[in-house]
Amino acid sequence: MIRLQNIEKVYRTDTIETLALNSISLDVEKGEFLSIMGPSGCGKSTLLNIMGLLDAPSKGDVRIDDQTTQHLSDKQLANFRNQKLGFIFQSYHLINDLQVLDNVELPLLYRNTTAKQRKLLASEALAKVGLTNRIKHFPTQLSGGQRQRVAIARAIVGRPEIILADEPTGNLDSAMGNEIMEILMQLNKEDGTTIVMVTHDENMANKTHRLVRLFDGAQVQ
Ligand SMILES: Nc1ncnc2c1ncn2[C@@H]1O[C@H](COP(=O)(O)OP(=O)(O)O)[C@@H](O)[C@H]1O
Ligand SMILES: [Mg+2]
């Protein structure tokens, strides 16, 4: 589903060069739930952003669903992301002055969907994460766990084949974190969604199919 070959990422500023990823090759199978662990600054977010076509590698090849991506234009990349990928971040990235339902509808605005269909699909996604009774709330009126559930609904509303989650439970207490993990596991098991999740939590990582460890930009396990 995702194939990374010899990925290297160098960040350059005027004075310093950081090798954030060093020769990473990794295959993620369709239907797999993979976790990525490693100390702060080891390149986890960089790797996830490259998998999600949010950032380009300095060297190497990213294939998604057997398609090479390096020659796609920005517009093609945006389309590709919108169709195939759902993103979840540690700090939710919701739009605070939009109601929950409108937040979840957002990815559909870039597709040919009628307003009625958008509402229906967004309501279905919110039902899946157990938030049917909060659709008219604003994000600031919700708990952290509820906000992350809205973010998951937004990630799945377009029925992506792949979900990329960067420390999705990082801001949550363990009870709320477990709830989020249950939802991700259910999406993986019932819908066959391929999931790659960065986490600091061994317990969460142990619930996934496979764990990749990074250290200083290299894969060590
Ligand atoms: N935009 C950037 N410019 C320069 N250096 C960066 C940038 N983003 C990340 N880095 C550096 O790349 C390394 C990996 O960062 P990151 O992928 O965010 O690590 P992690 O998610 O594992 O904490 C770090 O040393 C970080 O300082
Ligand atoms: Mg990070």
What is residue 112's predicted lDDT score, i.e. its pLDDT? 85
Which residues contact ligand 1 via a Cβ below 6 A?
Answer: 11, 18, 20, 38, 40-46
Q: What angle do CA 196, 201, 207 make, to 5 degrees?
A: 60
Global confidence as pTM = 0.94
Pick one of 3.10.450.40, 3.30.450.20, 1.10.150.80, 3.40.50.300 as the CATH number of 31-45+73-219.
3.40.50.300
Residue nearest to atom 4 of ligand 1 (CA): 11
CA of 212 to the centre of ligand 2 (A): 15
Q: What angle do CA 69, 72, 74 make, to 5 degrees?
A: 120
**Is-contact 100 136, C-beta < 8 A?**
yes
What is residue 221's predicted lDDT score, i.e. its pLDDT? 77
What is residue 181's predicted lDDT score, i.e. its pLDDT? 96
What is residue 110's predicted lDDT score, i.e. its pLDDT? 85
SS3 of the chain? CEEEEEEEEEEECCCCEEEEEEEEEEEECCCCEEEEECCCCCCHHHHHHHHCCCCCCCEEEEEECCEECCCCCHHHHHHHHHHHEEEEECCCCCCCCCCHHHHHHHHHHHCCCCHHHHHHHHHHHHHHCCCHHHCCCCHHHCCHHHHHHHHHHHHHCCCCCEEEEECCCCCCCHHHHHHHHHHHHHHHHHHCCEEEEECCCHHHHHCCCEEEEEECCEECC
Computed from CA positions of residues 67, 69, 72, 76, in that sequence, does the dihedral angle turn out positive or negative? positive
Mutation test of ligand 1: which of 7, 13, 18, 167 has the most ligand atoms closer than 8 Å to its C-beta? 18
Task: Pick out the chain residues at pLDDT < 70.
Answer: none
CA of 11 to the centre of ligand 2 (A): 15
CA of 7 to the centre of ligand 2 (A): 17
Domain boundaries, the chain: 31-45+73-219
Mutation test of ligand 1: which of 11, 13, 19, 22 has the most ligand atoms closer than 8 Å to its C-beta? 11
Beta bridge partners of 67: 64
178's tokens:
């477990």
What is residue 190's predicted lDDT score, i.e. its pLDDT? 95
CA of 143 to the centre of ligand 1 (A): 29
**Count of beta carbons in the 10 Å neighbourhood of residue 116:** 8
Mutation test of ligand 1: which of 45, 49, 212 has the most ligand atoms closer than 8 Å to its C-beta? 45
What is residue 111's predicted lDDT score, i.e. its pLDDT? 85
Give the phi and the psi of residue 67 in degrees, each rounded to 5.
Answer: -110, 130
